Amino acid sequence: MSDFDVEHFAKLSRLNINDEEKVTLQKQMNDILGMVNELMELDLDGVEGTNFAVDMQNIIRQDEVGESVPVEKVVATFPDTEDNMNRTPVILEDND
């Protein structure tokens, strides 16, 4: 098992981690992975994974239009607004 790549996963998680935290995190995450690694012991051939917590299917709604939230109420929830739109710093054309 390799060391947890704090930097990579912090970036992917959209978190800034400072150098001091990195050291603590590195140890903590390695410990946690050690625990998680117990899963590697089991022989799981032929076992189906549980994708869903309930044994239900086809929970579908009819195509009916319901009420939307009044625009002034929506806009009031935005941290910053412009012309009833959510104003943000410049969005890069493609950021991943």
Q: State which of positions 47-66 bind other proteins (CB under 8 A).
A: 47-54, 56-66
> Using the rule CB under 8 A, which residue among 3, 22, 26, 68 binds other proteins?
68
CA distances (Å), origin 11, targets 2, 38, 51, 70, 83? 18, 27, 27, 36, 33
Q: Is residue 94 helix, strand or coil?
A: coil
Nearest distance from C-beta of residue 8 to other proteins, angstroms? 7
Residue 38 CA to residue 92 CA, distance in Å, equals 41
Nearest distance from C-beta of residue 26 to other proteins, angstroms? 11
Nearer to other proteins, 19 or 94 (CB): 94
Among candidates 3, 29, 7, which has minimal Cα distance to 16? 7
Does the footprint of other proteins cover residue 8 (CB under 8 A)?
Answer: yes
Nearest distance from C-beta of residue 82 to other proteins, angstroms? 5
